Amino acid sequence: MNLVAQTPACELPNSVAQTLVCEVPAHESQTEVCPTGILLGLKRRLTRERRRCKVGRAYDMALEIARVIPKGAEVLDVGCGNGFIAHHLSAILSTNVVGIDVMEKTEAPIAYRRYDREQFPVPDNSFDAVLLCYVLHHAQDAGLVLKEVRRVLRDGGLAIIYEDIPQSWWDKGVCLVHDFLWRRRTGPCTFRTDSEWCRQFSYCGFELVKNRALSRTRNITHLVARRTYAIRRAE
């Protein structure tokens, strides 16, 4: 007798007799697009691109600064911010660039010391060069900062200064926006013209070694007239 042929279909278990669509997991039956995942991916990509631009701009500035500072010179970066200029310059000059600023720490691994806004945390006559890269307009007392620069510079040492200059109505507008964005963190910004900076340097006991205009387009996210100065203690 053929038992298999005589077995009623109704006696077979449901799992064998039929396939239930509802038992197929949704992630296996269809591909779903998650908007949250896309947004997180775009955010991560944007963060990476911003960091790449930030590090790249710092490297370009470090190369430019290295043209006027001899290799092995001891350098102080005042208002070092994220620390990437000091980090790159340390490698380029084969030296240990010290960075100071008002926050707790920097992003880049550098020799960092916190600044109390009054006195640089370094000894007198201890550096061959001092950097102030777009820093002086944030100072609530630029004269006090320059006095400290004069104190820590060795004889013949240079202070390298970069500044935004409100030269046209466009520049003044950009500086106004910059002041609005930074006012809560550093206090109100004070932007000066080229002639005003030159008078300030002279008043604080410095002589001008170099004064050069820079292109607005060197930073397309901050299109403003700029100048770089090299000053040293007047005899």
Q: Is residue 34 part of a domain?
A: no
Q: Which one-letter amino acid corresponds to residue 165?
A: I
Q: Which one-letter amino acid corresponds to residue 188?
A: P
Mean pLDDT along residues 83-112: 94
Q: Domain span at residue 61?
A: 53-233
Q: Which one-letter amino acid corresponds to residue 86?
A: A
Q: Is residue 9 part of a domain?
A: no
Q: Is residue 48 part of a domain?
A: no
pLDDT at 9 > cutoff 90 = no
pLDDT digits (tens, 9 = 90+) for 193-224: 999 999 999 999 999 999 999 988 877 778 89
pLDDT digits (tens, 9 = 90+) for 43-79: 666 666 665 665 768 899 999 999 999 999 999 999 9
Number of domains in the chain: 1
CATH of the domain at 201: 3.40.50.150
Q: Is residue 194 part of a domain?
A: yes
Local structure of 195: helix, strand or coil = helix
Q: Is residue 42 part of a domain?
A: no
- For tokens 């007799």, the residue is 17
Q: Is residue 3 part of a domain?
A: no
Q: Is residue 100 part of a domain?
A: yes
pTM score of the predicted model: 0.77
Q: Is residue 124 part of a domain?
A: yes
- 111-114 and 226-233 beta bridge pairing: unpaired
Q: Report phi then psi at 117, rounded to 5.
A: 75, 5
Mean pLDDT of the chain, nearest integer? 84
